[in-house]
Amino acid sequence: MSFTCECDKKSCAEIIQMSTDEYELVHRKANNFVVVPSHVKLDIEKIVTTFSNYLIVEKLTLRS
């Protein structure tokens, strides 16, 4: 299946190929997202898992 990168760039239209089961597994955690490797932002995200064509990232909670 084709899914759109879930990075924080609103205009991003990069496509990630993965199965529906993989996608659903990622989203069992509310703060997990799928991004292309070059779109990770380590100041707001932590890499959870690395694959050849995408990363699973966890959005970090901002503390005030």
**Statement: residue 51 has pLDDT above 80:** yes
Contacts 24+ apart (CB under 8 A), 10-14: 12/39, 14/39
Instruction: Please give the mean pLDDT across all residues of the chain.
Output: 92
Give me the half-sphere count of Cα atoms (radius 13 Å) on the Cβ side of residue 28.
6
In angstroms, the CA 2 to CA 23 distance is 10
CB crowding 33-50: b at 16 or more within 10 Å, else e: bbbbeebbeeeebeeeee
Dump pLDDT digits (tens) for 16-32: 999 999 999 999 999 99
**Statement: residue 63 has pLDDT above 90:** no
**Statement: residue 49 has pLDDT above 90:** yes
pLDDT of res. 61: 75
